[in-house]
A and B are shown apart, each in its own frame.
Chain A
Amino acid sequence: MSSAQDKTDPRDELVDHLPAMRAFAMSLTRNSATADDMVQDTLVKAWTNIEKFQAGTNMRAWLFTILRNTFYSNRRKAVREVADIDGVFTDQLSQKPDHDGRLQMRDFNVAFAQLPDEQREALVLVGASGFSYEEAAETCGVKVGTIKSRVNRGRKRLTELLDSSDDEAMELTDSATMAVVADRVNGLM
């Protein structure tokens, strides 16, 4: 195959970051087809611009930067597209609501999708991908304080949204119970 080269090629490491790239892309787009297209674009860009990667630095942060740049430039191109919103709902419909955990997850996904992009990505980078605040700041090209405040605002908003969906569920249960009780009472009379 390829002629033997002694020095390691950073491009050989790209494959190791694919799962994380897909997960990050998915959290940005909430749509697996769009996410994988974005990952594909990112791979090609990384491959052809590999000389811009500084050996010994954080390759995942570098790749995530390319990925989010791709996301935001695609988004600008398709401002009025509603595909992402459709994606959110089809993704949710495909989840079987047969379990409390599933329902909870669905509530979470609905709430999460309502957050601004900047808060979503900050939450995912710090809360799920294991990035430090510093790495997340570097990836997004903003100050550490900005990431911290996005994380805090995102958490606050998520908590509000989840609390209100809990209340709704509770109200539904209550009125269902009331209806049953009312029927019973009526039946007895």
Chain B
Amino acid sequence: MTKKHQSNGDDPIEANLKRVYDEVIKEEIPDRFKDLLAQLKAQDGSKGNDSGGATQ
């Protein structure tokens, strides 16, 4: 078995690795992550540490 794995088709290990990986890739992103990103963004905005203009 000294084949080079240039084509994925006949390499069952690579095919399985991809199948397992792609199954997760295809899933919809859970809301918790969108919520988290929105929360991080909001936190950052309220700190307003951009361009040194502390307004208060």
Contacts and interface: CB of A to CB of B under 8 A. Distances in A.
Contact of B40 (A19, A47, A104, A123): A47
Interface string B14-54: 10111111101111011011101100110001000010000
Classify chain B: how many residues form its interface, as a range: 20 to 34
Give the one of B1, B17, B41, B45 with max A CB within 10 A.
B17
Which secondary structure dominates where chain B touches chain A? helix
Given A109-B20, A155-B13, A158-B13, A2 B41 contact: yes
Contacts of A158: 13
8 contacts: A15-B34, A15-B37, A40-B36, A47-B37, A105-B20, A109-B20, A124-B21, A128-B20
Interface of B: 1, 12-14, 16-22, 24-27, 29-30, 32-34, 36-37, 40-41, 45, 50
